[in-house]
Structure 1
Amino acid sequence: MASAASVKPRENWLDGLRGIAAAIVAWFHFTVGEMKTPYRSFWAVPADENRNPFQLPPLRLLFAGQSMVLLFYVISGYAVSTSIIRLRDDAPAQFYRKLTSSVFRRGFRLYIPVLILCVICHMSLYIGLFNWFPGELEGCSGAEPWSALQPHLSCLTMTFLTTLHLSGPFYVTGYNFHLWTISYEYQYSLAVYLIILGLASIRPKVRLVVIACLSATFMWFGSPILSAFIAGLLFAELDTLREASWSLGQKIEPTTVVRNSANIFTGLLFVSGIYLLCLPQDPTFPPDFWFQSYLKLPFYVDPEIRIRGWHAVGAILVVGTLRRHRFLRVPLESRPVQFLGTISFSLYLFHPLFIMVMRNRILEAVCHYLWGADFWQTQHDESAWYVIFLAWTVAAVAIGPSLILASVYMTKIVNRKSVVWSYKVENLVSGAGK
């Protein structure tokens, strides 16, 4: 019989954190191509174009779209493993069954919504809702609006294969540029499942050391995404071990001094994590990266990977401290944030389509109507700042509710049903339904 730990309800704060991260990514893609200042360092030159409060932590978190992806990965490492490892000691048969089921169903859970998105996006391209000009290596030659179907079918196929890293010499990123994250999500979820299986018979404390060493090793050798996933698994193992000790009456109440010291230390780690998540994606490494002169990792030659590494460390610190502090998690368990968590995957999938279809049209229309010029000209006219502000406001108000509504229906019609469909396919091929 499974213990109480194995049937513990899901961690709602993780859903809330995922929802906030998805909203920040959507806002990032909504603004990054046109708004320049929020994505520069506070210390960038010239000074009169910077030194704005929103360029400093923690306000800059609102524009930290790149680092939110690493936050997704730590959350995923925790989420895909916690319900499995809670069954490991008390119900080995159920543990093995859930592990194998999770491995089989993971691809369906991720790629059924992705396939539906690719079809919707390409239909939008076909009927001319947005303009996109594919490069020579994207395998989409001739995929023009209202043209022959064959090039469009080839482009759609190549787009989906790209999300699987199976597109060979061709790749398609243009209208689904954000889907590069899905292949990492799938591959490293499988890596986490493999680690769980490989360490299933190891003593708990040894298992923790091995997982921590794996995460540190991959971080050291320049694989911060995999390190983030494994860190999520480590947190799940720690929480499961703590729950097991509590159920056996082994909970030790710390003294007031120890508890206060631990709270202060955890708070410092949380603040440090937020700071690292707020680091700008700037390969010149402005003064925000002051600590780089003290710590140089030899395998981080590429600046982008180096910045991603610091973002991964920040994500690990934030998730690791949130799981220990109820006070910090309270905002993440509020109803609005939980709602964002419910639609987070759909929100992440859909937001580029709405941006490409609606944003530029609205910005251009408002600027032409109020200023008699296109958006680019209006943006470079200092006297028209209020027109630009109004144009962005109108675009956000128009796109936001539409995107949320579409995400709600996508969650109900596709995402939730993809879970059901994956179980049906599993029962069909395994004969469990007979």
Structure 2
Amino acid sequence: MKRIASLDGLRGWAVAMVFIGHAERTVPGGYSGILTPLKWFSAGDLGVHLFFVLSGFIITRLLLGEFAKTGRIDLANFYLRRTRRIFPAFYIYLIIIGTVGAIGYLSIDSRQMLVATFYLWNYAGILGLDSLSKASPDGIWYLGHFWTLSLEEQFYWFWPALFIFMMKFRRTWVLTALIVIVPSIRIVSYFMFPAVRGQLNTMFHTGIDSILVGCLFAIHQERAKILFSKILDSKAALTCLTLVIFFLFPICHHYLRGYWTATYLRTFEAATIGVFILALAIGKDFFLRSVFLCRPVLFLGTISYSLYLWQQLFNGLNEGMAFGFPLSIAETLGAASLSFYLIEKRFNARRPHAIEPSAMR
């Protein structure tokens, strides 16, 4: 697959927002004084949301390219690529965390390990893991970030089959219907099941709409380019869009909380991010795009998956696992680089290549 460099840069920017946000735990008193500007950069919720929409866009772009050329989707090839991309580094991380827990250095329950192993952490509350938070707090932290990977994995099992159905029978309206339905399920769940309010954006049936929005923008890219042409063709409009996403949305998250994240406003945020991703994908020039294309940010995008995995280890509750800020940042970057070059790159070098969509060339 031909990579779009600016999307790699966006991925790097997003993962930096997440791990710098988590690194605040290693700063006594949090980001204050000369470190105060980091608070504006460490919007982890937005970073995760960027990842979700971007993931749907990129995966669907892959599937579109293969379907356009062959008229079918090789599911075995698709899942082989996903397995080689995700499993090796993930399970090595789990083995290390499990080993450290087994020798008593971390307080981790075997049930927490089991739920993480099978990519079910986004349903941790329903599975009863909340009750373990006091007895095994380390497990909640060192494994808790896998709710995002769990949602992604569930999406991988669900989406290819639905994509094949929609393409063969020309039923792309099904995707739009799902994007409309999922937030309504989220809203109903918010009022009817108060105990799960904290998980509404993590569970598949209440939080998958953000990824599906990315899928929608990939499938209807040409229509979206026409629909949002006034924004895409204006540097001023794209700059305003950038400011809205990276400055206004974090403020909305902070002050509106559930009123924003549990409603259609979250879906609206995903759609706004979708326009932003589309602008990057088709090569529009605007404020911040050059930042995404600079080498350090592109490097972060390249090792983003390993960064996501390992940053939790060095920004955790157990102070013995890290040396504090800013060494925690250096530790994270070092571990992620080793993970990428020694694990990810070796397995991905042997995986089958996906087909590039002609529409994106």
TM-score (norm 2): 0.71
**Amino acid in the other structure paired with 2:46:** S
Aligned counterparts of 2:265 and 2:295: Cα–Cα separation in 1 = 31
Aligned counterparts of 2:114 and 2:86: Cα–Cα separation in 1 = 17
The answer to whether 1:236 aligns with 2:218 is yes
Is the 2:217–2:224 Cα contact (8 Å) retained in structure 1? no
Structure 1 residue 348: deviation in Å?
0.7
Aligned counterparts of 1:402 and 1:261: Cα–Cα separation in 2 = 42
Aligned counterparts of 1:279 and 1:53: Cα–Cα separation in 2 = 19
Aligned counterparts of 1:221 and 1:276: Cα–Cα separation in 2 = 26
**Amino acid in the other structure paired with 1:96:** I
Is the 2:210–2:267 Cα contact (8 Å) retained in structure 1? yes
Residues 255-309 of structure 1: per-residue CA shift (max 9 Å, x gap): xxx6897555444444333345313655xxx4xx4xx9xxxxxxxxx668427x6
Residues 15-36 of structure 1: per-residue CA shift (max 9 Å, x gap): 1111111111111112158677
User: Equivalent residue of 1:199, what SS?
Assistant: helix
Aligned counterparts of 1:120 and 1:133: Cα–Cα separation in 2 = 14
The within-5 A match list for 1:228-377 is 228-239=210-221, 263-279=235-251, 282=254, 286=255, 289=256, 305-306=261-262, 310-311=265-266, 313-324=268-279, 325-328=284-287, 329-356=289-316, 359=319
User: Equivalent residue of 1:20, what SS?
Assistant: helix
**Amino acid in the other structure paired with 2:117:** F
- Partner residue in 2 for 1:199: 166
Residues 141-171 of structure 1: per-residue CA shift (max 9 Å, x gap): xxxxxxxxxxxxxx75454246467989564
- Partner residue in 2 for 1:91: 70
- Partner residue in 2 for 1:152: none
- Partner residue in 2 for 1:110: 86
Q: Structure 2: which 5+ residue stretches go unaligned? A: 130-138, 187-204, 353-361
Aligned counterparts of 2:232 and 2:316: Cα–Cα separation in 1 = 50
Moved more, 73-82 or 315-324: 315-324
Structure 1 residue 122: deviation in Å?
2.4
Structure 1 residue 77: deviation in Å?
0.4
- Partner residue in 2 for 1:211: 175
Structure 1 residue 400: deviation in Å?
2.2
Change (3 A) 1:166 1:224: closer
The answer to whether 1:78 aligns with 2:42 is no
Change (3 A) 1:181 1:261: closer
Aligned counterparts of 2:91 and 2:250: Cα–Cα separation in 1 = 32
Change (3 A) 1:36 1:319: farther
**Amino acid in the other structure paired with 1:22:** V
Change (3 A) 1:217 1:405: same
Residues 339-361 of structure 1: per-residue CA shift (max 9 Å, x gap): 00111110110011122388568
- Partner residue in 2 for 1:404: 333
Change (3 A) 1:14 1:260: closer
Structure 1 residue 181: deviation in Å?
1.2
Q: CA RMSD in A?
A: 4.0
- Partner residue in 1 for 2:195: none
**Amino acid in the other structure paired with 1:414:** I
Structure 1 residue 321: deviation in Å?
2.1
- Partner residue in 2 for 1:28: 21
Aligned counterparts of 1:235 and 1:85: Cα–Cα separation in 2 = 12
**Amino acid in the other structure paired with 1:355:** N
Bigger RCO (CA 8 Å, 6+ sep):
2
Aligned counterparts of 1:224 and 1:71: Cα–Cα separation in 2 = 17
Which one of 1, 7, 10 corresponds to residue 14 of structure 1?
A: 7
Which one of 117, 123, 129 corresponds to residue 160 of structure 1?
A: 117
Is the 1:82–1:236 Cα contact (8 Å) retained in structure 2? yes
Aligned counterparts of 2:295 and 2:51: Cα–Cα separation in 1 = 20
Aligned counterparts of 2:234 and 2:58: Cα–Cα separation in 1 = 25
